[in-house]
Structure 1
Amino acid sequence: MSAFQQGMAPIRAMEDDSDVEEEALVADYQEQVQYGQDDDLDGLDQAALAQAADDLQARLLQAAQPLDYQATLEAKFSSYDNYCSLFHYILNSEGPVDLEPPSYYWAWDVIDEFIYQFNTFSTYRARIARQGNNEEEAQLLKENPNTWGCYSVLNVLYSLIQKSQIQEQLQATKRGEDAALVAGPYGSKALYKMLGYFSIIGLLRVHCLLGDFSLALKTLDDIELNKKAMFARVMAAHFTTYYYVGFSYMMMRRYADALRMFSHILIYVSRTKNFQKNAQYDNINKKSDQMLALIAICVAFQPTRLDDTIHTALREKYGEQLLKLQRGGPESLPVFEELFRTACPKFISPVPPNFDAPESNIDPIEHHLSIFMEEVKTNMFNPTIKSYLRLYTTMDLKKLAGFLDVKPEELRSILFVNKQRNKQIRWNEGALLEGEWVNTSDLDYALQGDLIHISEAKMGRKLVDWYLRNLSRTYA
């Protein structure tokens, strides 16, 4: 294993998983190290563990420091080795490590930077494999498929959660019991408790990056989304949590819940305004713009009354695009694609790319975009259909098909799909995957042969009232 470097990396602003600008990285991080071929977390010998114990304090501080965006491939390999060594020592020492962490801010920074480097390395490796024009780096990456591997990263996060007994502690707190009774020797230490807690947020993020949105939400079963939660004390963690929860809801077609999550954090940011004009403030603004783009997408799928603050910001930033989305039709497709690319996470593949066949490597972002656009195409006539249906109480299917210039049977399929899409699960409390089925539209219809019977959907009005009541409920 390579020796751990003591040089300090430049301070990077709050992690922006979708768009980290190079301008936010203020200096070069030079690492002249050698890295070994053993990338297995469990392959460290006792000498390495002993060496790790000597400079643990310095290494804990260093783990939270960002690696330069333009760092060499050798530096990225070395950073992975250093994280493996550090986490192996913390998790596999004889008994808990007796060391107080600097703060819970530090604990978040460690997990945040760990996942950020995993994300950027995976993206870089996939790009080298697809381009196929850098044989030297491609060969090096091919020979080290486990470096920053998905399994290793998930293993660290799950191990920290398990070792700290953090889920059991959170469950005990929910029941009104003393969490210390179930913490165990590791969970009673602040180092393990904090790393375990933020590993749960890390799992939310990693599973979302891998495209498993239901599992991403499942990881938060034991964390309550309210101002008393530990993640709410760290603005970057707060922002990250709501972004990934909201995005996961959106990809699961739960647009009311996605709108609630995005709106909550944006309103919270607008009300606090306690950031200094620095790189972190700039990145929060960029992330806010991404959330506004996602809100525009959700509102296009499910027209909803928004808070005045959100509505004003949305009109200022994406007013023209929003009008095109609300009109629907084929003209809206490029706008949906543009906003999705702007606001989605940098998805990654769970397996290493195939360097021998570059053409076989699919860009994960393009993959998820194609899935999303299939949903868009299914719903693109919905605004136009609703505009016609509002004018009638009964309408002939063939007549409406003529207005839309589609075949009657194709329109029948569209109507069935849209009616099914109007039924969504709405979260109120408890686990994020739970909820009650509601009608999310203010318009309902039924097909009887070739006749469409139209009526006002009472649940649509109720949903709007619920949304307005609960918009800031988590901070009431």
Structure 2
Amino acid sequence: MSTFQNGMAAARAMDDDSDVEEEALVADYKEQVQYEEGMDELEHVPSLSMAQQADDIQSKLAQAAQPLDFQAPLDVKFQSYDAYCSLFHYILNSDGPVDLEPPSYYWAWDVIDEFIYQFNSFSSYRARIARQGNNEKNEEEVQMLRENPNTWGCYSVLNVLYSLIQRSQITEQLAAMKRNEDPMSKAGEYGSKSLYRMLGYFSIIGLLRVHCLLGDFSLALKTLDDIELNKKAMFARVMAAHFTTYYYVGFSYMMMRRYGDAIRMFSHILVYVSRTKNFQKNAQYDSITKKNEHMYALIAICIAFHPTRLDDTIHTALREKYGDQLLKLQRGGPDSLPIFEELFRSACPKFIAAVPPDFDNPEANVDPIEHHLAIFMDEVKTNMWSPTVKSYLRLYTTMDLKKLAGFLDVKPEELRSWLLVNKQRTKQLRWTDQGLLEGELVNVSDLDYAMQGDLIHISEAKVGRKLVDWYLRNLSRTYA
């Protein structure tokens, strides 16, 4: 229990790079690798057997963290869902708290992670079957899915996560710790048990993930109001949880156009992964490596929208992975659109719909990934000419709107609309140390302008003399 409390203790800001804390994280990661290697040695019992062992809760606890085979048939996925329902019903609705000690907090994360993964996988599979229409090949599966619309339903999954949080009173405990009070005074009968405390804590991270998969990025960030993003947070002790948290927080920021905050989140976890890669020899590392590539693609997108300085490790890796593509992204224009689309499609989460698909009208089922891609590409098209326009504006202190429109071969009124939108986008919230949705409104551009009739007055933005000097010294290295 002391380990968990230490894991959630209040700590300094996220960007404190104390060597002592880094060593502590590495030590925790070594312990996690040893734990997972021990779990691998256990005999893998298929999820199908979980329901047959209703009287053996220890077996259910062990199997809940075991991944389901990706190629598992549909009936096994249904039975896996039933097994999870049975397990969580036992934990949440027994007469009083279940008196069981969880193997470790790594196990608690694995349970929540696998639960959400299976939900995500099943939802994507069901939607794909629905879009294909009813044919002889999948007729049997379509009939099974029709008859069980609530299996792996969005409401059921959210209900489990919120119930675990409520039972454990973990939000009250975290709030008490922020006030330097004893969290046990708010824990209650259930929250004083480590089983509920751990599952409740990681259910908060699970909610971040689920709300992001559903496309509600504001609510996704809101769920982390009681968790501090720092190296002593409980999620930072589990590599996969650490990575997942920053991936979904960063992606939510990106979709909310808070590119500076997104870069900050992506940079933090990419640097951490690079520092611990020598210890990552287990199967989990393969998954993290793949997600690592996704995060580099996302940070390349954010840098195109928000030029800024990066850690040397990330900067070098970006140049190696996306050298030519970065040049096109930073130039903007129509040539950049396919690259934005390719990077987004390859690195975005596997979005899902909140409701079951319509099997009777396959054409009515919109692919959630295509839906969010279209939203993102609207933003890209809005900013497509930004680098070109800025390159012209930097040459003048006053410029006629019609003259600039002639250079760009667009209508003056279209250019006026773009300039007004771009002016508004130069102000962004920057997260400090409060809630993730809050922040300080700052100017993120080194170029400012004002419009008076058809005249554009250009000046250097007040973004700080040091930042401007840095841009001038490092034009060859930045993505401006």
TM-score, with length taken from structure 1: 0.87
The answer to whether the aligner puts 1:301 opposite 2:305 as a matched pair is yes
2:454 corresponds to which letter in structure 1? D
Q: Post-superposition shift, 1:276?
A: 3.3
> Could you say which residue in structure 2 is the equivalent of 1:63?
64
Q: Is the Cα–Cα contact under 8 Å of residues 222 and 435 in structure 2 kept in the other structure?
A: yes
Q: For the Cα contact (< 8 Å) 1:394–1:454, is it kept in 2?
A: yes
* 1:310-359 CA-partner distances (Å, limit 9, x unpaired): 11111111111111110100111110000000110000000000000001
Quick one: which of 399, 406, 411 aligns to 1:402? 406
Q: Secondary structure at the match of 2:428?
A: strand
Identity of aligned residues (%): 82
> Would the aligned equivalents of 1:208 and 1:248 in 2 still touch at CA under 8 Å?
yes
Name which of 198, 204, 211 aligns with 1:194. 198
Alignment counterpart, residue 222 of structure 1, candidates 217, 223, 226: 226
1:145 to 122, 140, 149: 149
Q: 1:205 aligns with which of 198, 209, 214?
A: 209
Deviations for 1:95-126, whole angstroms, at most 9, x for unmatched residues?
00000000000000000000000000000000
- Find the residue that maps to 1:355 and give its secondary structure: coil
**What CA distance in whole angstroms lies between the structure 2 residues aligned with 1:265 and 1:461?**
29
Structure 2's unaligned 5+ residue stretches are 1-42, 471-480
Opposite residue 124 of structure 1, the aligned amino acid is Y
Cα displacement (A) at 1:461? 5.6
What is the one-letter code of the residue matched to 2:121?
A: T
- The letter of the residue matching 1:334 is P
Counterpart residue identity of residue 108, structure 1: W
Match of residue 276 from structure 1? 280
Counterparts of 1:154-193 in structure 2, within 5 Å, are 154-193=158-197
TM-score (norm 2): 0.86
Q: Which residue of 1 aligns with 2:104?
A: 103
Q: Corresponding residue for 2:242?
A: 238
Structure 1 residue runs without a partner (length 5+):
1-26, 36-47, 467-476
Q: Which amino acid aligns with 1:324?
A: K
Shift of the 235–73 alpha-carbon distance from structure 1 to 2, 3 Å rule, reads: same
TM superposition shift of 1:434: 0.4
- Structure scoring higher RCO (CA < 8 A, sep ≥ 6) equals 2
Give, in angstroms, the shift of residue 286 of structure 1: 1.5
Structure 1, residues 397-421: CA drift from partner, whole Å, max 9, x if none? 1111111110111000010011111
Q: Secondary structure at 1:458's aligned position in 2? A: coil
In the alignment, the residues of structure 2 paired with residue 278 and residue 103 of structure 1 have an alpha-carbon distance, to the nearest angstrom, of 18
How far apart in 1 are the matches of 2:89 and 2:241? 24
Match of 1:437 in 2: 441
In structure 2, the CA distance between the partners of 1:30 and 1:162, relative to structure 1 (3 Å rule), is: closer
1:289 to 283, 287, 293: 293
1:319 aligns with 2:323: yes
Which residue matches 1:3?
none
What residue number does 1:358 align with? 362
Q: 2:249 is aligned with what amino acid?
A: V
State the shift of 1:282 in Å. Answer: 2.4
2:127 alignment counterpart: 126
Shift of 1:215: 0.1
Matched position secondary structure for 1:171: helix
1:120 and 1:276 mapped to 2: Cα distance?
25
Give distance in 1, aligned partners of 2:286 and 2:46.
Answer: 26
Q: Which amino acid aligns with 2:125?
A: Y
- In 2, are the aligned partners of 1:34 and 1:74 still within 8 Å (CA)? no
Provide the residue aligned with 1:264 in structure 2.
268
Residue 462 of structure 1 and its aligned partner are, at CA, apart by 6.8
**Structure 1 residue 270 displacement after superposition:** 1.2
* 1:463 positional shift: 7.1
Say if 1:242 and 1:262, in contact at 8 Å, map to a contact too.
Answer: yes
- Amino acid across the alignment from 2:233: A
| 2:429 pairs with one of 422, 425, 428 | 425
Of 242, 251, 258, which residue of structure 1 is paired with 2:255? 251
Shift in Å, 1:464: 8.5
Alpha-carbon distance in 2 for matches of 1:380, 1:276: 40
* Contact 1:59–1:86, Cα closer than 8 Å, also in 2: yes
Partners of 2:47 and 2:80 within 8 A in 1 = no
C-alpha contact 1:129 1:353 (8 A) present in aligned 2: yes
Structure 1 residues 30 and 55, CA, compared in 2 at 3 Å: closer, same or farther? closer
Displacement of 1:392 in angstroms is 0.9
Residue 32 of structure 1 deviates from its aligned partner by 6.2
Q: Give the aligned partner of residue 414 of structure 1.
A: 418
Query: What secondary structure sits across from 1:346 in the alignment?
Result: coil
In 2 relative to 1, CA 396–437 (structure 1 residues): closer, same or farther, beyond 3 Å?
Answer: same
- Map Cα deviations across residues 179-233 of structure 1 (whole Å, 9 max, x no partner): 0000001000000000000000000000000000000000000000001100000
Give the aligned length: 425
Structure 2 CA distance for partners of 1:31 and 1:307, relative to 1, 3 Å: closer
Aligned-partner Cα distance in 1 for 2:403–2:206: 52
Take 1:176 and 1:465, find their aligned partners in 2: how far apart are those partners? 42
What residue identity is the alignment partner of 1:137?
E
Deviation for aligned residue 1:31: 6.3
> 1:304 deviation in Å?
1.1
Distance 2:50 2:93 in 1: 25
In 2: Cα distance, 1:288 partner to 1:86 partner: 33
Give, in whole Å, the separation in 2 of the partners of 1:202 and 1:179: 22
Offset, 1:29: 7.8
Residue 355 to residue 33, structure 1, CA distance change in 2 (3 Å)? farther
1:207 touches 1:215 (CA, 8 Å); kept in 2?
yes
Q: Is the 8 A contact 2:161 2:204 kept in 1?
A: yes
Contact 1:440–1:463 under 8 Å retained in 2 = no
For 2:185 and 2:291, the matched residues in 1 are separated by 39
2:16 alignment counterpart: none
1:257-277 CA deviation, whole Å, 9 max, x = no partner?
000000011011112334333
1:441–1:460 Cα contact (<8 Å) kept: no
Task: Give the superposition deviation at 1:245.
Answer: 0.1
Residues 231 and 237 of structure 1 are in contact (CA less than 8 Å); yes or no, is this contact kept in structure 2?
Answer: yes
Q: CA deviation at 1:279?
A: 2.9
Q: Is the 8 A contact 2:401 2:412 kept in 1?
A: yes
Equivalents in 1 of 2:322, 2:307: separation in Å? 15
RMSD over aligned Cα atoms:
1.9
Q: How much does 1:34 deviate? A: 12
| Secondary structure, counterpart of 1:273 in structure 2 | helix
Query: 2:64 corresponds to which letter in structure 1?
Result: A
